[in-house]
Chains A and B, each alone.
Chain A
C-alpha cells in the first residue's frame, strides 16, 4: 500500500484515465462495450424478473386481505383522543381575543371539520336509539347514526360563528379515534381538568361530555361510508383575570372500563393534554 502511495501523481492520473477509457482495448471502466451490454442485459433481465416476482407476491398477499376490515386489529385495542382544531405544531392554542386574524385558522379548521356534520350531509343517516350499542352485524347495508350539530350547543358554530374565540370562551372539539368493531362499555364521557382550576370554567356539549353508545361500533370506511364519530365540545370560559396565562388542560375519557386512559407510554390513549393562552 505504501508503495502505491508513493506513485507520482501524474502517473496515477494516467492510470485512472486508462481505467476510465482505454483506447487500446476499447475498455470503458474496465469493460468493453459488448461486455457492458451483456452485463446490463443480464441485470435488466434479473431485476425485471425480481420486480415481477415482487409484484406477484404482493398481489397474492393483497388477495388474502379483505377490503372491509383489516386482518389484525391487535395494535389498536383502545382508541386515542384527539382535538379539533389542532394547532400545527404542538397542541398549544395562542390567540388574541380581540384580533380576529389570530384565531381565524382555528375557526376555519372547525368549520371545515363540522361540514360533514351538516344536516344536509346527513340525509341518509338515521336516528338511532340513544344509550344502546347499534349492532348491525347481520345487515349488509350499514347505516350511520345521525349526529345533530345542535347537540354541540354554543360550540356548534350556528349562533356564534367564532366558536366563542372572540368572547374569550373558545371551543375545542374532542373526538375519539375510530376503531373498527370497538364497543365501549358503561357510559363513556369526556372530562377535562385544569390544574389551575380558578382560571378556567369548563362546559361540555352535550351536557356532561357524554358519548352516546349508539354511534358504536364502527364498520370501516367501505362498509360504513357515512359514519360520523360522536363529538364532545369543550368550552373554556377563561377567567378575565387569567388572560395572558398559559393554561394546561387534560381531557380524559371516563366511565367506560374498556377504554384505557392511563397508559404509561401512549400519552394519547383515552386522554389528551393541550395548552391555551389567551391575550387581550
Chain B
C-alpha cells in the first residue's frame, strides 16, 4: 500500500523528499543516467593499427635494416620504407540525447528538475507525451497508458494503474519504466530505481557485457595475412639459407631477406580493402543502410540467419483495418502503406450503415493543418484502433469531420474496461428523419449480447442461432489471423419516444442499450510492410533463414509470419499437424513440421540442446513473447550452428542481441539510441527490404575483394623473382626496393580500388551464403593461380624486357650471368661488355636503373592485363562487358599515367612485355572457358578461385 511504499523509500507522497535528503541520495547513487560504454582510447587504436597485420612484417624488415645499417654504416643500407596505411576509422554515428526534464515533488513543492537529478524516493508526476524519467512505482493513475515498445517490443500502448497484477516486474501494471513513453493519461509515482539500476540500465549493461565477435571479414583478412606472412617468411628464410650457403656475406643475406619480405608484402592492400569497404558503405548509405562499422559491410553478405524483430521492421508499426465482416461475408481491406482507395464491394446498404458507425462512434481526430498530406501520413490524436478506423473511413468516405458535423453528437459514453464498449448518440444528416441514431462499437461478444437483430443486405433480420453461429465462425477466423476484432451495432431510436429535446443522460443511461441491430465486424492488425514478403522470399532464395523474434503474442506473430512468408503457405507447425490429423501434439512426428512457433514461456524451460534441436530441424521459426535475455540466447543458439547471424531490432530490449549478433541492425526512425549504439548498421528507412540490398552489396564486396586480392598478389611474384634470380644467378639487380614500392603504393592502388566497382558476375542472390569455414577469401586456388601461374608469366615477361634492355646497351644475356660481384665492385671502372666497350661503375649503375624502370614498366603493362582478367572469375570478359565498369578504365589510365610520370625510359621498352600481357588475357579466357564448359572437372576444382 501507499504508506508501506512511503516507508520503504523514506519519502512522503504529498511532500516528496527534502532537497537535502535528495542530494544525499544523489551523492550515494550517482546521477540518474546510463553510463556510456567505455571507448577504446584513440592512441591504443592507433598503436594497434601500427603493428597489426602486414605492418608487423614491415617492422621486422625495418629492424633488420637498422641492424644492417648499423653494422655497415659506411656502405649504407638499402632504403626501407615502412607503410602503415591501414585506416579503419569508422563512420561515427553521433547520438546526442536531448536533456530531459521531470516534474518532481520536493520539499512539498512541484519542481521542474533535470531527469539526471532524480533519486530513489522522489515523487514524480507524468502526463501524456512525457518520457518516463526513471523506473517508477505508480501510486495513482488516471487513464495512464505507456508505450513499452522500446523495452518489450509490444506495439500497443499498455495501460497502467496502481494495482499489483503480476510477480514479474515487466508484466505488472503498477510499474512504469525508464525511457518508455507515457502516451496518454496522467500518473504519479515513486522513483524506485535510477540510472544503471533501472530495467533499461540493466539491459544496457547486459549489452555492454556482451563481447564483440570478430567480423568474418576480419577473420578472412587475418587468414590472408597469415598466408602471405607465411609465404614471405618461408621464402625469405629459404633464400637466406641459400645465400649464406652460396657464400654471400651474412649482411648481404639479411638485405636479401628484407628485399624478399618487402617484395612479398602487398603494402597497398589493406588501404585498398578499407577504401573498397568504405565505397560500398557509401553506396549502401544511399540505399538507406548506414554502416557504422566498415567491416560489417561484408558480414551482411555472409549472413546465413536473420533474426528479425516484428514491430516496425516487418510491420508498419500502425494499426490498420485489415478485414471486414458484414452480410455474412468477410471482405479484405487494403493494408498497404499508401492506400488511396479500398477495393472491396461497397454497394451493400449494410456497408453504408457500418461506415456510418465507424465514422461516428469514434473520438479520434486529425491534427489540424495537415490537409495536404496523404491520409496515411497524417497525425491523429487518439488511440491506435480509433486512428485506424478514422483513417479507414477517411480513405473511403472522404471528409470524416464534416460527416461528423452533419451528424451532431448529442451524447457519448467513452470506452472503458468494464463496459468494453463505446457508445454515442447522433442526430441524422437526413433533415426529414428526426430519429436519433445510437451507434456502438466494442468487443464483438459483448456487442452481440446486446443485439437482437442483425443487418443482412440492409435489412434487419432476427438474430437466430444460425446467424450467431456465422458470427462466431467469422470472429474466430479473424481472431485466428492475429487481428484485433471490433463489433459494430446501431439502433435508430423511435421518434415518438425520443423527441428532439430528449435529455440524454449517460450516467443513468436513459436510452436502450440492448436489442440493438448488429451490423458487422472490423478487424485490425499492424500490417506487414508491402516490401517485406518480397524481401523475405529473396532471402529464402539467397539461402538465408529468416527467424522472427518478437515480444508480441504467438497468434499475432504467426499471422504476420505467414503473411510475409517467414512461414510459407505450405508448411505447418507441430500444432497445425496435430489439428489436421486430429491427434495429440505429442504423437506428431516433429520432423514433419517445417515451421515452429516457440513461446517465450516454453523457451524458458528449454535446455540448450532442445533449442539447438529446434533451430536445426525447423526451417521456419517464430519466437513469440521473448524477453531480452531470450533474444540473446536465440542469437547464441544460431551462432552455435555455425551461422553468421544478423539481428534487427529497435528497442533497448534488443540491444544485447544486437551486440551479440555478428551484425546488429538497428532501425533509424523507430530505433532507440541504445539500439543504434549497439548496432553495426542502421536502416534509415526501417525497412526490412533494405537488408536484402545490404546482403547483396555484402556478397558483391566479398567477391570483389577476392578479385582485388588476386590482382594484388599476382605482381608480388614478379617483384619477388628478380631477388631470387639475382641471388641464384648473380645477375645485376633487375628491380629495386623503391621501384617495388612504386608499384605497390603507386600504380596499383587505383586499379585495385576500381575492382570494388565491378558488377556481380551472376545473380549472387541465388546462391547460398558462404560457408565460414570453407569459402575463404583467399583460398588455395586463388593463391596458386595468382602466384604460380599469372605471376610467373608476368615475371617471364618482365625478365624478357630486362634482358632486352641490357642486350641493346651492350650486355648480352650470356655475359650477365654470374657477374654480380664485379658488377657491384666500386673499384672496377673498366667493366667490359659483350662488344669490348668499358663501363665505369656509375655508368653500370645508370644502366641498372634503366633496367629497374623497364622492369617496372613491364610489370605495369602486364598488370593492366591482370586487371582486365580479374574483372571476372568465371564469365568471359566479353560476357561481363569490357566497358561496363568505367572505373576500371580510370584505373588503367591512372596506372599508365603514373608510370609515365615516374619513369623515363625508351618507349620501345613499354612494348616488350605486351605479348605476355596478351598471353595473360588469352590464357585466362581459356581457363574461364574450361571452367564454364566443364563444371566439376579437375580443371574447375583447381583453377576456379
Binding site for B on A (CB under 8 A): 1, 38-39, 42-43, 46-47, 50, 53-54, 57-58, 61-62, 65, 68-73, 75-76, 79-82, 86-91, 175, 177-180, 218, 220-222, 224, 227, 263, 265-269, 272
Contacts and interface: CB of A to CB of B under 8 A. Distances in A.
Contact of B836 (A72, A81, A220, A263): A220
A140 to B, nearest CB: 18
B792 A54 contact: no
A87 B828 CA distance: 10
Contact of B850 (A47, A75, A218, A221): A75
Nearest to B832: A178
A-B pairs, 9 with minimum CB distance = A221-B836, A80-B840, A177-B838, A266-B842, A70-B810, A71-B808, A82-B830, A268-B829, A268-B840
Interface string B786-806: 001100110010011001100
B838 A75 contact: no
B936 to A, nearest CB: 15
Interface string B361-375: 000000000000000
B827 A89 contact: yes
Contacts of A68: 835
Contacts of A79: 838
A90 B827 contact: yes
A57 B792 contact: no
B222 interface: yes
B807 A80 contact: no
A234 B807 CA distance: 36
Contacts of B942: 39, 42
A211 B814 CA distance: 34
Given A43-B788, A75-B843, A82 B807 contact: no
Chain B interface mostly helix, strand, loop or mixed? helix
Contacts of B846: 75
A62 B836 CA distance: 18
13 contacts: A1-B222, A62-B812, A69-B835, A70-B835, A71-B809, A75-B843, A80-B829, A82-B829, A91-B827, A220-B835, A227-B836, A268-B829, A268-B841
Contacts of B915: 57
A76 B838 CA distance: 9
B597 to A, nearest CB: 34
A15 to B, nearest CB: 15
B883 interface: no
Q: Is the interface of A mostly helix, strand, loop or mixed?
A: loop
A177 B842 CA distance: 13
B807 A47 contact: no
A61 B804 contact: yes
Contacts of B813: 58, 62
A72 B805 CA distance: 9
A38 B803 CA distance: 33
A81 B835 CA distance: 18
Contacts of B837: 70, 73, 76, 177-180, 218, 220
B742 interface: no
B785 to A, nearest CB: 11
Contacts of B830: 80, 82, 175, 177
Contacts of B219: 1
B907 to A, nearest CB: 13
B843 A80 contact: yes
Contact of A76 (B793, B841, B843, B919): B843
A50 B843 contact: no
Contacts of B792: 47, 50
Given A1-B222, A57-B915, A65-B808, A178 B836 contact: yes
A266 B827 contact: no
A79 B828 CA distance: 14
B230 to A, nearest CB: 14
B906 to A, nearest CB: 8
Contact of A61 (B796, B803, B827, B850): B803
Given A75-B846, A220-B836, 8 more contacts: A58-B813, A61-B800, A62-B812, A62-B813, A75-B843, A80-B838, A80-B843, A220-B837
A269 B835 CA distance: 20
Nearest to B943: A42
Contacts of A222: 835
A191 to B, nearest CB: 19
Nearest to B803: A58
Contacts of A266: 840-843
